[in-house]
Amino acid sequence: MSQALSARRCFRLGAVTALALVVGYASPMPLPYFAPLFAWLLAATPAPPIGPRFLVGLVVVAVVGLSVGRLLAPMLMQFPVTAFLLAALGLYFSFYITLNLGKAVLGVFLTMGLMLISVTGILSLPLADAMIDSLAWGLVIAVLAQWLVYPWFPESDPFPPPVAPPGAAQSNWVALRGTLITLPVFWVALAYPATYIPVMMKAVT
């Protein structure tokens, strides 16, 4: 990789993140810091920005995945054991579709919905709604920032070939391991949601 391409990627990453930061905090978003976070995640990938049609699909997938946690929050307050088991199955399913079916976007947002939104909903349902809105608008702002910045710092080298996915047995074990790692944090966060929401965000990643 040439130094010019490396410099373009660094400038693109910084410019996209800065633009999303300015737009996010200038907009009426309840939680504007999601915009630069998504911008950094998207711009860190050496690839062109997604198109308008894929953006609409991405927002729909994000809202659907996050809404699962919004629906799970009242169940956690009324039927905690049943809801916890459903959350465990949902976490395994989200890791499974990410690893075995290649649905990484749906898996990530389903995991965030089950973990982050459901715990936030126990603390405050309006806060959970605000977080879903902020996540959706943060995605839109991040992609718009990419559209504006990418023509100034485009890619020139061919993209590396995709990495071959692991075997089914290994993927199942990784999905189970991710579920077992995440569930203890989820269990503790249910008792102290205000304290452990930042820990939940780290556990999801």
Residue 160 within a domain: no
Residue-wise pLDDT for 44-95, tens only, equals 888 888 889 988 988 888 888 888 888 999 998 899 899 999 999 988 988 8
Q: What is the pTM of this model?
A: 0.79
Following DSSP, what letter does each residue of 28-82 receive, concatenated?
A: --SSTTHHHHHHHHHHTSSSPPPPHHHHHHHHHHHHHHHHHHHHHHHHHHHSHHH
Residue 128 within a domain: yes
Question: How many folded domains does the chain comprise?
Answer: 1
Residue-wise pLDDT for 19-33, tens only, equals 999 999 999 888 888
Range of the domain at 24: 3-155+165-204
